[in-house]
């Protein structure tokens, strides 16, 4: 699996991925950046490449890695 390299300073919810550790399909957004699934085409932006291009993931992998973006204006709610 490909691990995020670091968080970017401009977008704290976005991870910077190393393109050398990804396949061409993952770098092009045609495969999930986590599990390599190509169909259905991943639609959740999970991070970026150093050139600013987005990398995508499937909903299941986004949930596994804990990527749950909060829509602007929505308060965070935590429960125990």
User: Rounded to the nearest 5 degrees, what angle is found at the Cα of 56, between the Cα atoms of 77 and 24?
Assistant: 160
Whole-Å CA distances, 20 to 10, 25, 26, 52, 53: 22, 12, 11, 15, 14
Q: Is residue 79 domain-resident? A: no
Q: Is residue 39 domain-resident? A: yes
Q: Is residue 17 domain-resident? A: yes
Q: Is residue 60 domain-resident? A: yes
Domain that holds residue 48: 6-64
Q: Is residue 70 domain-resident? A: no
Number of domains making up the chain: 1
Single pTM value for the model: 0.64
User: What pLDDT does 25 receive?
Assistant: 94
| Model confidence pLDDT, tens digit, residues 3-41 | 555 444 444 456 899 999 999 999 999 999 999 989 888
Q: Is residue 77 domain-resident? A: no
Q: Is residue 69 domain-resident? A: no
């Amino acid at each position: 699996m490909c691990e995020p390299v670091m968080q970017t300073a401009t977008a704290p919810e976005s991870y910077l991925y190393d393109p050398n550790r990804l396949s061409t399909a993952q770098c092009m957004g045609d495969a999930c950046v986590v599990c390599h699934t190509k169909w259905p085409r991943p639609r959740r932006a999970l991070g970026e490449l150093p050139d600013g291009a987005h990398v995508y993931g499937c909903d299941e992998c986004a949930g596994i890695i804990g990527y749950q973006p909060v829509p602007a204006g929505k308060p965070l709610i935590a429960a125990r």
